[in-house]
């Protein structure tokens, strides 16, 4: 029972000291966000994790790069090239590599992608 009393006493002291110290963590953050929204005439800032922001960027990149490209008729006649493929860009090469570059044992068989030189 003494442990519960000690915990209750610590919790009571923490609540009393934070309420009387003028510290308004939650109210302060909300007030700053709403004041910024009024100034910039937008919604308050919404935090987005890096995973979702990268997923959105990749979706827009795929849509802009591949989904909106018109498919043209082939070139016919004597001026037709032997092959009608452009060489891949550096971005296409890096995106075609596996997503996970890490692996192996630390300091023994690590895999990294530093200073990559792409030769096409």
In this predicted structure, the answer to whether residue 104 has a pLDDT above a threshold of 70 is no
Q: What SS3 string covers the chain?
A: CHHHHHHHHHHHHHHHHHHHCCCCHHHHHHHHHHHHHHHHCCCCCCCCCHHHHHHHHHHHHHHHHHHCCCCCCCCCCCCCCCCCCCCCCHHHHHHHCCCCCCCCCCCCCCCCCCCCCCCC
Span 25-37, average pLDDT: 74
Higher per-residue confidence, 45 vs 98: 98
What is the reported pLDDT for 108? 77
pTM: 0.39
- Confidence (pLDDT) at 59: 92
Q: What is the pLDDT of residue 80?
A: 76
In the block, residue with structure tokens 């690590």: 110
Q: Is residue 90 predicted with pLDDT exceeding 70? A: yes
Q: What does the domain layout of the chain look like in residue ranges?
A: 2-71
Nearest to 112 by CA among 101, 97, 100: 101
Question: Residues 53-69: pLDDT tens digits?
Answer: 989 998 998 888 878 87
């Amino acid at each position: 029972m003494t442990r519960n009393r000690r915990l209750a006493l610590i919790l009571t002291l923490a609540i009393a000291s934070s309420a009387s110290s003028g510290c308004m963590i939650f109210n302060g953050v909300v007030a700053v966000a709403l004041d910024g929204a009024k100034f910039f005439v937008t919604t308050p800032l919404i935090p987005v994790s890096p995973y979702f922001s990268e997923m959105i960027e990749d979706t827009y990149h795929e849509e802009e790069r591949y989904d909106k490209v018109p498919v043209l008729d082939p070139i016919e006649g004597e001026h037709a090239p032997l092959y009608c493929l452009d060489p891949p860009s550096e971005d296409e090469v890096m995106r075609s590599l596996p997503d996970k570059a890490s692996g192996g044992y630390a300091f023994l068989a690590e895999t990294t992608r530093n200073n990559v030189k792409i030769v096409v």
